[in-house]
A and B are shown apart, each in its own frame.
Chain A
Amino acid sequence: MKPERLAQKLQIAGAYLPLAAGIILAVHAAELLRNTRETMAARAEETRRLRELAAGMELVYSARAAFESLPDARLRDIRSALSPGGALPAAETVRSDRKELTDGWTHRIEEIVFQSIDAPGALQRALNCETLRPPWRLTTLRIAALPGQEGRTKITMTFEGLEKASL
C-alpha cells in the first residue's frame, strides 16, 4: 500500500475511532441511564415509605418531648392529688402497678375505689388529677349507683401516669 493511502486510512481510522468510542459509550450510557431511572424510582418509593414511617413517629416524639420538657417529672401521690382541698372521702387503693420504660421513665397505674361518693364530685377530683404536670390520666371508670342512697355511687377509677425520678 502506498504511504499516502496508508496515511489517509490512518487519518480516517483516527477520526472514526472517537466516533466509535462515543457510540459505544452512548449505548452504554443509555443502558446505564435506564437502569438508573429504575433504581431512582425504586429508591424514591423506598424513601417515601420511610418518610411515612417517620410521619407516624411524629406524635410519639412530640408526646415524649412534652414530658421531657417538664422541670419536675415526678407524679404526685394519687390520693393527695384526688383531695386537693382537704380530706379524701373513704377510698382505698386496690391496685398499684409500675413498669419501667426507657430512659428512666416509669409507667404507673393506680386503681382507687370510692365506696360512697357523688359522681360529679369524684369526676371533679379526677379532673384535678389530669391537670397536674405530669398528669394522672383516667383510663377506666366504673360508676355503680348505691341502692337506696340517692346521688351516692361507688366509683372505681384507674389512673395511669408517667414519671421520671430525676431529670
Chain B
Amino acid sequence: MTAREPVVLLAERRGQRIVTSPSDMDELRRRGATVPSIACMPVTECMAQWIDAPYRSFSRAKRVFPTLLDIAMPFPIEECEVEFLEPQRGAGGNVRALAVAARHSHIEARLAGCRDAGFDPMILDHEGLAIWTQSLAETPAASADAFRAVLRADPGRSVLVIGRGRSFIGAQTLPGIGTETLSRALRTRLGAAPVPVFWALCGAEAADRTEAARILSALPDDWVGSSCVHESPAEFAARAFACRALLRGPLRVDLRGVRFRHPDSAKRAGRDRNRALWLVAAAGLLLCAAASAAVLKAGRMEREADATFASLRDSLLGYSLPVKGERAISVVAAELTTRKENTRPFRDTFTPSLVTLAGRLTEIADRDGLRLATLNLSGKAVDASGMAPRWNAWSEFVRQLGDSGYAVAVKTGNAGPDGRIPFAVVSAGGADR
C-alpha cells in the first residue's frame, strides 16, 4: 500500500523475479493474514539522513551514531524507531551511515490506519528509500557520479528523491510540481550550481501522457540531463515495496522495528534466531565430534606405530623388551651384533671358495710360465713369490687376484742369468677381500 493512495498490488516471487498483478482493498481484506502485506511510512512522517561520525573506526562510529542523530533530530531519539543503514567510509575516511527514523506516534498512527483499512502490514517501508532503490533497479545508473531525481507524482501529493550514482541523498515532499519548486529542492540538496540530472518519473500522474509531458516541461532547464518515465508508473511505489520485501538488496528497512514488530515477523525472527542457535550448536557438536575423532584417530595411529615397532623389536630379539625408541634400537643392535658374531662361521660358509681361486691361480701360473715358490692365501690376504719368464708375465695372475677382491702390489727383482725375473705379490694396504 502506498503512502496515501489505496493502490494494492499482489506480488509473487519467482526465483529472482517479482511478478505483480493489480489487486484491490477487498482482496487484501479477504486474504487477511494469509498473505503478508507491506505498507510504507510517507516521507513526511519519517526521515533518512546521512550521519557522519568523527571516527575511522566502525565500532566507535556505531556507538556515537545515536547521539549524533539525537542532536540532528528535532525530537528525542527515544521516541523514534531508528536504523543506521550501510555504514561506510566517507570521503575523509570517517565512517558514515544512513540514519532512518520515524516517531513512534507516527508509526502507531500509520499502523492504526492500516488496521482500520483491514490489514496489518508485516513491514513498514520507507517511501523515499523504496522509490530510490526501485528506480535504480529498473533503470540502472549511467555512471557512479550521475545525479538522479526520482519524482513521484500523485494527485495532490508529490515526492522527490535525489541521489548520486547508487547513493541516496535525500527525499522530500513537494507542495506542487513547478520549475521553481524543483529548482529550490535541487539547490537545497545538491548546491547552487546546476548539474545535469537524470529525471525518472513515476506515480499516478506520470501514467497520464499529457500530465507526464506537463511535468517534463516543468523540469528546470538548467538541471536537466535526460529523463524517463518508469513502466506502470501508477504502481511503481507499490511494486517497489513488494520487490524490497521479497528480494535482498541495499537500503532495506522495516520501521516497525522491535517495538511495533508484527507478531508473524516476531515469530519469524524467533524462528530465525532459533535456527541460527541450532546451527551454532550443531556446528559446535560437529566440531566436538570431528576433534574427538581426530584425537582418537591420532591415538590409534600412534598405538599402531608403537605396535609395529614393538613387534619388529621383539621378533628380532626373540623376547619381549618393554623399551622404545633409541634405547630399544641400541639393545637390538647390540643383540644382533653378538648374534652375528656367534654365527659368523655359518655365514663364512657362503663366501667364495678359496679352493676355486687357488686352482685358478695355479692354472694361470702354469699357462703363463710363472714358477711359484710360495702361495699363501686366506680370506683376507694373499702373498705369492716366484720367477716369471718375462716382464709382466704375472699380470693375468695379479688381475685374477684383483677380480677376486684382493688389493695387491707387485714387487720385482733383477732378471737372473737365465732371464727369469723374480717377482712377489703382496697384499697392499691391508685391504680385505
Contacts and interface: CB of A to CB of B under 8 A. Distances in A.
Interface of A: 11-12, 14-23, 25-26, 28-29, 32-33, 36, 39-40, 42-44, 46-47, 49-51, 53-54, 56-57, 59-60, 63-64, 66-67, 101-102, 107, 119-120, 123, 126-127, 130, 135, 137-145, 160, 162
Contacts of A127: 353, 355-356, 359
Contacts of A46: 309, 324-326, 328-329
B301 interface: yes
B277 A11 contact: yes
B374 A28 contact: no
Q: Say what secondary structure dominates the interface of chain B.
A: helix
Contacts, number: 192
Given A40-B301, A137-B349, A145-B371, 20 more contacts: A15-B280, A17-B284, A19-B283, A22-B287, A23-B287, A29-B295, A29-B298, A33-B294, A50-B309, A63-B349, A66-B346, A126-B355, A127-B355, A139-B379, A140-B377, A142-B376, A144-B374, A145-B372, A145-B374, A162-B346
Residue in B287, B336, B342 whose Cβ sees the most chain A Cβ within 10 Å: B287
Residue in A15, A21, A49 whose Cβ sees the most chain B Cβ within 10 Å: A15
Given A19-B287, A22-B284, A32-B298, A50 B332 contact: yes
Nearest to B316: A54
Q: Say what secondary structure dominates the interface of chain A.
A: helix
A51 B375 contact: no
A102 to B, nearest CB: 6
B35 interface: no
Contacts of B347: 59-60, 63
B353 A51 contact: no
B404 interface: no
Contacts of B353: 127, 130, 137-138
Contact of B288 (A22, A44, A59): A22
Interface in B300-350: 301-302, 305-306, 308-309, 312-313, 316, 324-326, 328-329, 332-333, 336, 339-340, 342-343, 345-350
B292 interface: yes
B281 interface: yes
Given A36-B298, A144-B374, A123 B277 contact: no
Contacts of B316: 50, 53-54, 57
A97 B30 CA distance: 121
